[in-house]
Structure 1
């Protein structure tokens, strides 16, 4: 008697959901009557960085959740939230219930930056700040806004750096119409920032902003965007980059518009500096008091070289937004330099270079934190193509019936959440927003135990 291929996916962000969608839409592998997928996540909620990594004043990007919801409504896909891989369940235990396991755990923490002074009080990782203002249950409830920190440095010229700069420059009241929880609003009222300086090591043609994110900086009436002319230069490598990508040309066009625009006198300013390589966070009495940069120059290829000339910037806080880094997953090999699980494009590779049977990776844990959400679909398709091709030869699970995994979690006393539980929490948050004084679309619940209680009610 044939049965469905049983696949467990660890990680309920876009990478995991897209993988489940492709799996359940694939032709049934030889010897199986379709595919059934369980998605596990350590958060009580699905959607990963769409819920906890996208800035609250970017509702358009959060619209992706609508498409992910349609996928998750598939009866062949189940969700188990508040299940922590490595603590609540290990790989060898998952293999009892699933013919194959796909890891889609993404990248959730800040990449380390080796720089003198980076550990001073007032030096922060962007990921930690993002999790705080997005109301992640494991983030602290308060943020250490220094009352004297009127000038702040942001290191990194990707979209996360722009998000951090924009949130720091906006007033708390401007964000009160978004889904931010009460503790974030109260915290933002303590933010004294007036000038936020964004530093780029290279020139304007090498930044990683998207045009929309860059344009949105000027949408706040309380913010002036000031692009400084120093380092605003192009070499042949820069021109090649502009000619090769329409989006890069659009970014440069927006930057040139900001460069030519006179400041309006708004109370907050976002400054963008080019060809400034941060080399040291300056401190006094253990606290940030400045940032030292080395002035760089383009070398003809789009890269830069140091000039040996340094500049000190009086800032009272530093936020590094130089990239995310994946967690080392218990029981799996890990490439610490790249911050990924070693793989051949889908199969997880053991330390001897051979694929681990029935174990796969997709998303940022597979290729690193690069690319936009759309890239995750093609990435998942590659991994799932390998899995489906392997399916007839995979060692079959000892307990493939769906209820077996439920019994395992119940027996461990794990208070897991389900898709039906998410729908309850979703409705609760929408109701909180609708009944708020400011009539918001949603108001997030932050505490993990409260989310679990509402979901399991």
Structure 2
């Protein structure tokens, strides 16, 4: 037991589950966390330990937890998913409940949450891509990089999403880690991907793929790329693939390296060395024999996507050449064209207003806040509050900080609001025990294929796994 935490009998008529496992109850402050991703779990960890008399209910719209850790992190980056071991421990604390398959704005309202909980923490992340805002963006095969991520990671709703890899060249607009991940998943040997939890649908698409070249386009120069050194190093060593970096873009920044701070210096050094230094004999031979390439085309801005003969599908992308102006760039009238059958935008995500009563800045795509505080008793953490930035450790640090504010504001509170006992009936919600059943089914299904797991892709299949 943790501290003075006490078990009270939950009202079964309020919360019926697909399983018979009871939810945990308590008499202290009630905290609702909306979003079962990294921000939600990290914040819950801090609140649960600081206030063992509290009860924290994590609401997640999908039956399964972990958000972008499950559906955003590349399947071949399992080391990044090690944080799941921490989340497992959090979910099993005696004052934490996981309530899946329950959607804010549909199954319950923001007003319900404020009425029933002493603190409401919104961490439901980002649901939409930022658009390029150029002519031709609505052409077929112009889509978000996130769409491909959702296909190879098995996000429900993407089971039949049309991804056409019947093209020699793919262009990705953006130079962050998502862009690098997608490029790697487009070019990595299929046999290497098989052992991870990538979907069978993606493996099938890759087997018939004609993609030999991936071009990453960035508006600014080398000093402003957003990916990290690990991802870049992987791309320079990718089997059967050579990097193409344009020397003229790196010559002007050689003398600036000494002034950069680590780890930025190490990243830019690797870029400069890859672009300007002659590779050793072994690397040169590997590059010469490579049948694929990835290209970093910087100081370019997309201005128009052009259709092919059918008038419906993208065939070319027009790029304006930029020139550096301090920390920004100036777009020139010089235009270049790339022939391509697939254009992916990866210029950031934005959140949505999940409920009309939530304060929301539609222009920035965030819930306005000051250090996570939105209004008395209401908080936000993760990308919903900061915008899409950083990696998981940045989300963790933000969640810890916001959780500290929640803990501070709960000081002195002993008797809590009704919590889930006052909430609307959620007949189809799932629990942590249900998730463990789903996880077991996935792992068993993956074993014959030599995979970590074979993800259940639809909500229906997840719920059927629980029933069985």
User: Structure 2 length as normaliser, TM-score?
Assistant: 0.87
Q: CA deviation at 1:139?
A: 1.6
- 1:183 equivalenced with 2:183 (yes/no): no
Q: CA deviation at 1:235?
A: 5.4
Contact 1:11 1:103 in 2 (8 A): yes
Q: Who is 1:229 aligned against? A: 247
- 1:453 equivalenced with 2:464 (yes/no): yes
- Between the aligned partners of 1:190 and 1:109, the Cα distance in structure 2 is 29
Q: Who is 1:272 aligned against? A: 296
- Between the aligned partners of 1:162 and 1:273, the Cα distance in structure 2 is 13
Could you list the structure 1 runs, at least 4 aligned residues long, displaced by more than 4 angstroms after superposition.
Answer: 392-398
- 1:416 equivalenced with 2:442 (yes/no): no
- Between the aligned partners of 2:368 and 2:218, the Cα distance in structure 1 is 31
Contact 2:27 2:416 in 1 (8 A): no
Q: Deviations over 1:367-401 (max 9, x none)?
A: 1111221122221232222222222588976524x
- 1:305 equivalenced with 2:323 (yes/no): no
**The one of 184, 209, 226 aligned to 1:208:** 226
Q: Deviations over 1:331-360 (max 9, x none)?
A: 202111211001111221xxxxxx2x2111
Q: Who is 1:11 aligned against? A: 35
- Between the aligned partners of 1:11 and 1:155, the Cα distance in structure 2 is 29
Contact 1:45 1:422 in 2 (8 A): yes
Q: Secondary structure at the match of 2:451?
A: coil
Q: Deviations over 1:175-203 (max 9, x none)?
A: 21211222222233232211111111111
**The one of 259, 264, 267 aligned to 1:251:** 267
Q: Which has the higher contact order (CA 8 A, sep 6+)?
A: 2
Could you tell me which runs of 5 or more consecutive residues in structure 1 were left unpaired when the two chains were aligned. Answer: 349-354
- Between the aligned partners of 1:140 and 1:336, the Cα distance in structure 2 is 29
**The one of 86, 92, 103 aligned to 2:105:** 86
Q: 1:115 to 1:395 in 2, by over 3 A?
A: farther
Q: Secondary structure at the match of 2:28?
A: strand
Q: Deviations over 1:297-326 (max 9, x none)?
A: 222x23222232111111121100001111
Number of residue pairs aligned between Structure 1 and Structure 2? 433
Q: Who is 1:444 aligned against? A: 455
- Equivalent residues in 2 for 1:68-87, closer than 5 Å: 68-87=87-106
User: Structure 1 length as normaliser, TM-score?
Assistant: 0.89
Q: Who is 1:428 aligned against? A: 441
- 1:239 equivalenced with 2:256 (yes/no): yes
Q: Deviations over 1:112-163 (max 9, x none)?
A: 221111111110101111111100012243432152x111111000000111
- Equivalent residues in 2 for 1:117-128, closer than 5 Å: 117-128=136-147
Q: CA deviation at 1:80?
A: 0.8
**The one of 187, 200, 219 aligned to 1:169:** 187
Q: Who is 2:350 aligned against? A: 325
- Equivalent residues in 2 for 1:369-384, closer than 5 Å: 369-384=388-403
- Between the aligned partners of 1:377 and 1:54, the Cα distance in structure 2 is 15
- 1:115 equivalenced with 2:143 (yes/no): no
Q: Who is 1:155 aligned against? A: 173
Q: Secondary structure at the match of 1:44?
A: coil
Contact 2:349 2:388 in 1 (8 A): yes
Say what the alpha-carbon RMSD is for the aligned residues.
Answer: 2.3
Q: 1:395 to 1:332 in 2, by over 3 A?
A: farther
Q: CA deviation at 1:218?
A: 3.4
- Equivalent residues in 2 for 1:26-41, closer than 5 Å: 26=50, 28=51, 34-41=53-60
Q: CA deviation at 1:204?
A: 1.1
Q: Secondary structure at the match of 1:145?
A: coil
Q: Secondary structure at the match of 2:362?
A: coil
Contact 2:27 2:415 in 1 (8 A): no
- 1:385 equivalenced with 2:404 (yes/no): yes
Contact 1:231 1:273 in 2 (8 A): no
Q: 1:433 to 1:243 in 2, by over 3 A?
A: farther
Q: 1:340 to 1:309 in 2, by over 3 A?
A: same
Q: Who is 1:352 aligned against? A: none
